[in-house]
Chain A
Amino acid sequence: MALTVNGAPVPVPTDPRVSLLDLLRERLDLTGTKKGCNQGACGACTVLLDGERVLSCLTLAVQADGRSVTTIEGLVEGAMHPLQQAFIEHDGFQCGYCTPGQICSAVAMVEEWRRGSPSNVTQDLADSAIELTHDELRERMSGNLCRCGAHNGIVDAIVATYVTEGAR
């Protein structure tokens, strides 16, 4: 039994209670993924599982068997990810603890939006080209809490990276 973490094969731990989050943090020393609640409420632990955003605290490591995990460390390949750069430019973080989760979440959120997945605030569910409006973007990021209040900067960074450049 094995999964792939940032491209490298990793054996599934023998203790079935181990969450994907604790596997990353406590056993693989990939501490970029944060634990804010361990209850699925804060989004700090967001990682990409086969490209989809998941809360790694609510995912057992065994569930990731045979699948591919990308963490914040894996998003950096040589140079910084453009979104990471934008977070710095737009002051999208203060303490930085929610930041890896915000970034992983945003990367997958943009993919969801690009393929036309609606959100809770989408008016027309049949619309094939949903606009990433003020509310659409914020709703889709609302699972990632930030207590320092860096929300404006986070949204600005996402907009600058994906929206104004007409990335769609």
Chain B
Amino acid sequence: MRGAATFAAEFAPENMAYAAVVFATIARGRVTALDIAAATGAPGVVLVLTHENAPRLKPMPLFMTAGKAGGGDDLPILQDAEVHYNGQPIALVLAETLEQAEHAASLIEATYEIDEAVTTLEAGKARGTRTGIAFGQPAHVEIGKPEDELATAAHRFEATYTTPRHNHNAIEPHAVTLYWQDGELYMHDAVQAVNHVAWSVGSVFGLGEDKVHVTSPYVGGGFGSKVLWSHQILAAVAAREAGRPVRLSLSREGVYRTVGGRAQTEQRVALGADAQGRLQALQHTGTVIMSAHNALPEPFILSAQSSYATKSMLLDIQVATLDMLANTFMRAPGEAVGSFGLESAMDELAERLGIDPIELRIRNEPEKDPMKGLPFSSRQVVWCWRTAAERFGWDKRQAPGLRREGEWLVGLGCAMAGYPYQRMPGGAAGITLTADGRAQVSVAAHEMGMGTSTVHTQVAADRLALPMDAIEFRYGDNALPGVVLAGGSQQTASVGSAIIVATRELVKELLQLAGNASPLAGLSADEVGTTHGGLASLADPQRYESYASILSRAGRFELSVVGQAPMPGEGMHWSMHSHGAIFVEARVNAVTGEVRVPRLTGAYDCGRILNPKTATSQLRGGIIMGLGAALMEETQVDPRNGRIMNASLSEYHLPVHLDVPDIEVIFSDIPDPVSPMGARGIGEIGITGVSAAVANAVYNATGKRVRDLPITLDKLL
């Protein structure tokens, strides 16, 4: 706010050198010659690294292949001449100044032997697909007889929906400032997974994770992209070879070239319904693109797994393998684009059946999880529909193409939003209470703008019965307790449950310290509660002693505990999801085809809302990203050479101020009976459903159905 927060590229160790990266310009083949003479001789150059002089390294451990594996891909980094994708780093220049490094990098000339490359979904499909493996399981679900049910259903609807590649485009480019000291690596990194990065970098260099120190106090947005990619390894190698601190801040183009985005999908949705609109068959199948070196087939079938009751179900993800940069997790992986197919199709089915689209969905509300058969921990979907519909004014909706205001065709649309609750194992929190009645709460968690530190300061203050300003929340450092990933909307649950356990530990230790002279003497941890900066008997609140008094009588300056969150068992017994309903007004210019969205209203059921202000902002942020996906976002690749063509923020269009209306967000605030603190995730659900709601509104405005994102004006003319 005052410009005082220090981001990764803003630490300035003594004698630091600047790195610049050279990227391959072919999709597949090998470097046959690399002319580095001019670069090496350029003013200020300290070092030029290529596959010919780089030290031997292990590949990055690929995400999800081990507990703390955090690599976006597992390709060798400067280990051989092979080129696997257009944009792969082939050289690094280190120089005294940024200008010198960038200039010298531009002097490097590469010659290639070019192999034929597969760069499009069509070509990938022609080469043959395989069933995706998502989260360790084949991405294929079959319940009942989906083909027979579809064939015999009273009403059938089937269509194909396509979504392009997307990039995260956090406004802070990926950056790291690092140095080696006594064989240990110190990294100021912009990441959303400090432990994963430490462990993974350690494994690349053959070091224990305790020898890699990662801090990431402020992250300028991540959305799934800020994990371990090649640039951190390149910087660490350069720093070790040169024997001095290095800063590597990727250029915006460099982020597009070396940090993966969301994969393109081609989804087929087939719905079979009886005369009343009840689903007999729900089929959601299709193909996604992927590289041979990553772990995530964009799991677009996730929405279909839990949204609707259906007699039969067929879900399947096929993977077409392309010669491309690894795709990766991006806000609401799966649901963000899967909900476009499913929720567009539900709208289309409703129209064919002559049923209101909300009514159709409510008729298909499941009693229990349609795939797993588990009960829902809490599901207020109908509340979401009714609440948002009323606030939005759904009753004003007319038949397609009827409402016109001047040049503008006006339509209303809606869609269901949803995202599963998750809590990953490994959550832990440290609490240090000091004799002055203050507490320091430490977790290796991350703040990327989600309000983590505010929310957990609040949780800790609440649990410890201390004022917020007596709590110091420390995070973003792998030296702190816990293995917490800021991803999957699970950080809050993970950290929160650890803080709860740590508080319990603290109470036990305090009672021991209190001893016989305390008014609390003889009470067990279950018999006391925290209140007014101390402990009191639950049965007799007069029996009270402050933390400060307990500590000082025991002659202690401070007391520290670490609490480990219990293994996340809740998801094994319950189907747990955040839900929502999102409503959109779209205006389509009858002359130019331009689409504007002047109104968005969403009602969400995310369990208990810990902080309404930051939660609303999180939801809005997701919704705006969904608006971008609906109307403008697309990473364009040149099919001839697999190169991203719009690798800049001027050509990859994001929603800007004029595109963003006031967005109304309403929460049920009904606590989840099973999750720690009653809260479920809020970080990803916002983006889900939005592009379908926009497409449905555009259809209502114009009578034109667009099944291919983004909905640009050329598709409406």
Kindly list chain A residues whose C-beta atoms are within 8 Å of the C-beta of B616: 91
| Interface check B648, CB cutoff 8 A | yes
Per-residue B-contact encoding for A28-53, CB less than 8 Å = 1, 0 else? 01111111111111101000000000
Q: Main SS of chain A's interface residues? A: loop
A22 touches B3 (CB 8 A): no
Contacts of A150 in B (CB 8 A): 617, 620-621
Among candidates A37, A72, A138, A144, residue contacting B2 with C-beta atoms closer than 8 Å = A72
Binds B, one of A93-101, A110-118, A122-130: A93-101
Residue pair A94, B99 in contact (C-beta under 8 Å): no
In the complex, whether B12 has a CB less than 8 A from a CB of chain A is yes
Most buried by B among A91, A121, A149: A149
Q: Is A42 within 8 A of B621, CB to CB? A: no
Instruction: Tell me the complex Cα distance, A131–B555, Å.
Output: 66
Q: Known interface pairs A17-B99, A22-B99, A147-B171. Does A39 touch B648 (Cβ–Cβ under 8 Å)?
A: yes
> What residues on A are CB-neighbors of B171 within 8 Å?
34, 36, 42, 44, 95, 97-98, 145-148
> Which of B218, B252, B655, B662 contacts A39, CB < 8 Å?
B252
Complex Cα distance, B625 from A38, in Å, reads 22
A99: nearest chain-B partner, CB-CB: B1
Which chain B positions have C-beta within 8 A of A17?
99, 103
Residues of B within 8 A of A64 (CB): none
CA distance A94 to B219 in the complex (A): 10
Contact A93 B449 (CB under 8 A): yes
Residues A96 and B617 in contact, CB atoms below 8 Å apart: no
Residue of A nearest to B626 (CB): A149
Contacts of A147 in B (CB 8 A): 168-171, 221, 223, 625, 654
* B-facing residues in A74-124 (Cβ within 8 Å): 76, 80, 84, 87-88, 91, 93-100, 121
Are B656 and A152 closer than 8 Å at their CB atoms?
no
Interchain CB contact under 8 A, B649 and A96 = no
Residue of B5, B450, B657 ringed by the most chain A CB atoms within 10 A? B657
* Given known A17-B99, A34-B220, contact A149–B620 (CB-CB < 8 A): yes
Known: A26-B98, A152-B660. A41 touches B622 (CB 8 A): no
Chain A interface residue count, CB cutoff 8 Å, equals 58
Query: B649 touches which one: A36, A137, A141 (CB < 8 A)?
Result: A36
Write the nearest CB–CB distance from A59 to chain B, whole angstroms.
Answer: 15
Chain A nearest Cβ from B584, distance in angstroms: 16
B251 engages A31 (CB within 8 Å): no
Cα separation A1 to B565 with both chains bound (whole Å): 60
Contacts of B620 in A (CB 8 A): 149-152
Inter-chain contacts of B662 with A (CB < 8 A):
152
Which residue of A is nearest B249, CB measured?
Answer: A35
Interface string of B4-15 (1 = CB under 8 A from A): 111101101000
**Is A139's beta carbon under 8 Å from chain B?**
yes
Q: Interface digits, B336-369 against A, CB 8 Å rule (1 contact, 0 not)?
A: 0000000000000000000000000000000000
Q: Which residues of A contact B622 (CB under 8 A)?
A: 149
| Cα-based distance from A40 to B455 in the complex (angstroms) | 35
The interface bits of chain B over 193-235 (1 if a CB of A lies within 8 angstroms of the residue's CB, else 0) are 0000000000000000000000000111101000000000000
Cβ contact within 8 Å between B449 and A95: yes
- Whether the pair A15, B660 counts as a contact (CB closer than 8 A) is no
Which chain A residues border B650 with CB–CB below 8 Å?
37, 39-41
Q: Say whether B669 faces chain A, with CB atoms less than 8 Å apart.
A: no
Question: A39-B649, A42-B171, A95-B448 are known contacts. Are A100 and B657 too (CB-CB below 8 A)?
Answer: no
B434 at the interface (CB under 8 A from A): no
**Residue with the greatest number of chain B CB neighbours at <10 A, chosen from A17, A72, A94, A95:** A95
Residues in B whose Cβ lies below 8 Å from that of A146: 171
A29 touches B12 (CB 8 A): yes
Q: B625 to A149, Cβ gap below 8 A?
A: yes
Q: A32-B2, A42-B649, A97-B7 are in contact. Are A91 and B220 (CB under 8 A)?
A: no
Given contacts A31-B7, A148-B221, contact A94 B617 (CB under 8 A): yes
Give Cα A158–Cα B219 distance, bound, in whole angstroms.
Answer: 24
Say how far B90's CB is from chain A's closest CB, in angstroms.
Answer: 21
Q: Is B432 an interface residue (CB 8 A)?
A: no
Decide if B42 is an interface residue (CB 8 Å cutoff).
Answer: no
Q: Which of A39, A80, A99, A149 contacts B623 (CB 8 A)?
A: A149
Which residues of B in the span 103-120 have a Cβ within 8 Å of any Cβ on A? 103
Asked whether A65 is an interface residue with its Cβ less than 8 Å from the other chain, the reply is no
Which residue on A lies nearest to B622, using beta carbons?
A: A149
Alpha-carbon separation in the docked complex, A96 to B168 (Å): 16
0/1 string, B442-460, CB within 8 A of A gives 1: 0000001111000000000
A15 → chain B closest CB, angstroms:
6
Contact between chains at B2 and A73 (CB < 8 Å): yes
Given contacts A37-B252, A41-B648, contact A31 B624 (CB under 8 A): no
Q: In this assembly, does B534 line the interface, its C-beta being within 8 Å of a C-beta of chain A?
A: no
| Residues of chain B with a CB closer than 8 A to A15's CB | 97, 99
Residue B613 at the chain A interface, CB threshold 8 Å: yes
Q: Does B141 contact A (CB under 8 A)?
A: no
Output the least CB separation between A153 and chain B (Å).
6
A142 beta carbon closer than 8 Å to chain B: yes
Contact residues in A for B621 (Cβ distance below 8 Å):
94, 148-150
Minimal Cβ-Cβ distance residue in A for B686: A149
Chain A residues positioned under 8 Å from B168 (CB to CB): 147
Q: Are A145 and B449 in contact (CB under 8 A)?
A: no
Q: Determine which residue in B449, B621, B624 has the highest number of CB atoms from chain A within 10 A of its CB, and name it.
A: B449
Q: Please determine whether B657 and A142 come into contact, CB atoms closer than 8 angstroms.
A: yes
* Beta-carbon contact of A32 and B221 below 8 Å: no
Other A-B contacts than A37-B649, A135-B658, 16 sampled, CB-CB below 8 A, are A31-B10, A37-B173, A39-B648, A39-B650, A73-B2, A80-B1, A91-B613, A94-B621, A96-B220, A148-B221, A148-B621, A149-B617, A149-B620, A149-B623, A150-B620, A152-B620
B residues bordering A, Cβ < 8 Å?
1-7, 9-10, 12, 97-99, 103, 168-173, 218-221, 223, 249, 251-252, 448-451, 613-614, 616-618, 620-625, 648-650, 654-660, 662-663
12 contacts between A and B (CB under 8 A): A26-B97, A31-B7, A32-B3, A33-B3, A34-B7, A80-B1, A95-B218, A135-B658, A141-B657, A142-B658, A143-B656, A150-B620
Q: A residues near B, CB below 8 A?
A: 15, 17-18, 22, 25-26, 29-42, 44, 71-73, 76, 80, 84, 87-88, 91, 93-100, 121, 135, 137-139, 141-155
Shortest 6 CB-CB distances between A and B: which pairs?
Answer: A32-B3, A94-B449, A97-B220, A149-B621, A95-B449, A149-B624
